[in-house]
A and B are shown apart, each in its own frame.
Chain A
């Protein structure tokens, strides 16, 4: 093809422009350390990096959430440890009061100590976190959860359980509301046995067990006869299912320290079993009812009231013993309940720890991936720069040679 000087020039300039633009791109890769500066240079990587950046920031937020959850759970765990130690002291005091050797003065002293425990438990129940939020009031974090009342304490919080997000679709509860922590089932957890207030005998409720399954009905145990001392003949009692109004035991026989067996239907298998000690009087009665949830503060208040009641006569002494036994049962239930909460907190802390390490691993992974997509490979970039430089120098030299070729030079 016929080539003219001006088209040689045009082509040379176009080539130099292309080469210099390539050099500029490579040079920017070396100087910025980035594989691309505009998304158009690597659209797929740019979109992916954008996505990964968002995922990384989200993961970092999850780490912050987990740290916050960890703090909250640790605070709750510490508080519950203290609650448990108070409950332990409370049970020791109740056992001491029940030893039978205490004078009424000692009982008053014990009642005072119990009241001190009550107020320190109330303090623990109203614990606030670093932000001034009550940790045991559910969602009502600005409301003091427990206020003292004549019957113990009133719960003002709600049943809510605030959650914190640990990962997409994974949340963890950061607290437990006051109702969960400070309420516990009464009696043995399934049913509760109570001596009637007007009992005149010395019948004291001992261990109670569920022999097969408990029907959930209320029962009344009424003593129909009792031996006159020194006779030691067995007493007789009837048991009525007061929910269905049917008599399930007629003329049961009892000797002190023995058990009262209650079947679901007359003549059936024993459903629940109650051990009594002492000798109930004729007409004394005991009731069996399903366990209900009761605040520890009510339990303590009942104990204080019982301890403060003068216990000179033998019937009031029996009543005191029964009241203290009820309290000990309920305190034990509270201890179990708080242990359950403590175990649940432990489980949640494990979850948080796992989430923290998963997040850390994920962040490292994402950072590596982003670096891989975004960072330029220095070795490749340098080599490319070198090659492009050589090509440009060669193009310059070639042009000088071609451009120097002119017939006019040879015409003199």
Chain B
């Protein structure tokens, strides 16, 4: 009879445990990382093997966590992607806002600048109009400066974001490692019961880690896990962690790269493509730095075109105009990993051809196998370049799109230089002139065809590629044939390609011939010094507004500014769309995890009722057992 009591008591104990598990589930319904638990009941085997042997009650074999490893992995991946998009979105939207509002301001200030030249052309002697040009130029410079400063501010934010992410990743990694230790010892010590609470905690830490950086995990036999980031870079191996560190970029010390404690400070940026950290790195390379370069490209074009035009005209004192804007000529940075001692000097071209070829990209110049190669810094694609060696100094100059780089000595094999033709322009542009009288409104020369000329030729479009001084006195160009000419009766010269006439000597000023002159035709080129009302150069400055200066001469500066607004807006819109889509994916992934591991209170209510009734029934069974035993005692007169 005694087994009747044992059976009931085993049931009462098991159901009490079941009610505890249910209560614990209800208590943890809102605990992050908590996985729904259930009791695993096992009937106790009968002690005899006879056909009539009854079971010996029930025991709790295990308390199981309800977990789907597949759902969890999907959630981690989804969270990494969402984390990347979230932080990228923060920055693309800010770039959008900065470029959209302040570049809108940039368009306005550029427009006002060209209008001011147009007004000055209406009355070149007006000091007030000249002052207006200078003020408008000042406004252009400060628009560029402001936009650049705001964008640079974003890079500062990205740096502190990287530092914070790296420290959070390290702290999560070390807590995963210590949980690994506890879980492994727990698993070994008690083979029957897994440490559910520790596993819940570890899953939650891994889940948090996946928001910061893309991860993959593998399980070990002792219950511990390994965590990898990027292309299998180990972060946690059992109870060991690899610490992530931040290191200054090899080319640009003001930007932080991610590295690890084990790889000697080399950047692993390229491996980190997802999670909040991946988003920050992407924001820097895809949104902020390109915008800084594009603004810089515009600043370079504004400054170069205005300065070139100034140099072709005469100011109020009759001298050739000096530069209206001063602007940094980009920078060429030697990698901190270089072993040679060569330094590189960058020159950004100011001619129309150079401006047309100039891009907003950065380039990497590498020296290997005795030759230089130029690659796009973002895409790594090879870029056409030519290398020339100065026969006197022996120095090499590499010419790329719109710029040239001169090396101070031959670099060591494998040395690299980052070429940033436009990155520093917007931050450095300023107005160099202070007095309206320094504005070159007048053209330097007027070319007059002699009345007796028989040909159809005319001279115009003066340029000064070699920065020659103003020739003194009038210059007479006499054509001895349609393609040869003399200057002031000197030796015969041949017309340059594109009808270029050089005066007073080769390498000096150039005028462009249109039409065909007859032999004997002469042109007189006279200086315009003293022509205070000459507005030809001011008109040329004003008309630069519509001139295709960028993108191989197809886009004006203002059109390029508008295009930048659209490009940045499109990028932000694209990231916004991707983020919205990924949020939906993530909500679904979360729902999937919850569908397995979440606590459903209705389930728990039903379970409570079930276990309560089972408990009551077992108690009843005990009661009946008791009464059966009492009846038996009464029958044998054991009671008094």
Contacts and interface: CB of A to CB of B under 8 A. Distances in A.
Interface in B506-559: 528, 530-536, 539, 542-543, 545-546, 558-559
B594 A6 contact: yes
Interface stretch (A115-123, A162-170, A219-227): A162-170
Contacts of B125: 131, 133, 141-142
Given A43-B567, A138-B531, 18 more contacts: A3-B594, A4-B594, A6-B599, A7-B595, A38-B93, A38-B100, A38-B569, A40-B571, A40-B572, A43-B573, A51-B107, A53-B111, A54-B561, A60-B115, A133-B123, A139-B533, A140-B533, A163-B539
B591 to A, nearest CB: 5
B565 interface: yes
Interface string A284-318: 00000000000000000000000000000000000
A394 interface: no
Interface string A30-66: 0000000011111110111011011001101110110
15 contacts: A6-B598, A40-B92, A43-B566, A47-B569, A53-B108, A54-B111, A58-B115, A64-B118, A140-B533, A142-B532, A143-B530, A163-B535, A169-B546, A407-B602, A408-B605
A57 B119 CA distance: 13
A406 B118 CA distance: 77
Contacts of A250: none
Contacts of B121: 163-165
Interface of A: 1-7, 10-11, 14, 18, 38-44, 46-48, 50-51, 53-54, 57-58, 60-62, 64-65, 68-69, 131, 133, 137-143, 158-160, 162-165, 168-169, 171, 174, 405-408, 411
A11 B590 CA distance: 9
A38 B565 CA distance: 10
Contacts of A11: 587, 591
A46 B29 contact: no
B533 A133 contact: yes
B563 interface: yes
Given A43-B566, A407-B602, A2 B595 contact: yes
A137 B533 CA distance: 9
B605 A7 contact: no
Interface in B556-609: 558-559, 561-563, 565-573, 576, 580, 583, 587, 590-591, 594-596, 598-602, 605-606, 608-609
Contacts of B265: none
A10 B587 contact: yes
Given A10-B587, A54-B107, A141 B532 contact: yes
Contacts of A57: 108, 111-112, 115
B539 A406 contact: no
B272 interface: no
Contacts of A160: 446, 528, 531, 533-534
Nearest to B561: A50
B566 A47 contact: yes
A47 B103 CA distance: 11
Contacts of B566: 39, 43-44, 46-48
Contacts of B546: 168-169
Contact of B532 (A18, A140, A163): A140
10 nearest A-B residue pairs (beta carbon): A141-B533, A47-B566, A39-B569, A4-B598, A43-B569, A40-B572, A139-B531, A407-B605, A139-B534, A7-B594
A405 B121 CA distance: 79
A408 B104 CA distance: 60
A133 B542 CA distance: 22
Contacts of B99: 39
Interface core residue of A40, A50, A53, A169 (most chain B CB under 10 Å): A40
B122 interface: yes
B110 interface: yes
A40 B96 contact: yes
Nearest to A140: B531
A171 to B, nearest CB: 7
Contacts of B590: 7, 10
B595 A3 contact: yes
Contacts of B218: none
A142 B442 CA distance: 14
Contacts of B596: 2
Pick the most buried of B29, B122, B599: most chain A CB atoms within 10 A of its CB: B122
B595 A47 contact: no
B34 to A, nearest CB: 10
Given A42-B569, A47-B566, A140-B533, A165 B539 contact: yes
B93 A40 contact: yes
Nearest to A2: B595
Contact of B122 (A46, A140, A164, A405): A164
A70 to B, nearest CB: 11
Given A6-B594, A411-B609, A61 B96 contact: no
B565 A39 contact: yes
B543 to A, nearest CB: 7
B591 A3 contact: yes
A269 B629 CA distance: 165
A5 B533 contact: no
Contacts of A47: 562-563, 565-567, 569
B476 to A, nearest CB: 17
A162 B121 CA distance: 9
Contacts of B545: 58
Nearest to A5: B601
A43 B575 CA distance: 13
Contact of B104 (A50, A131, A163, A405): A50
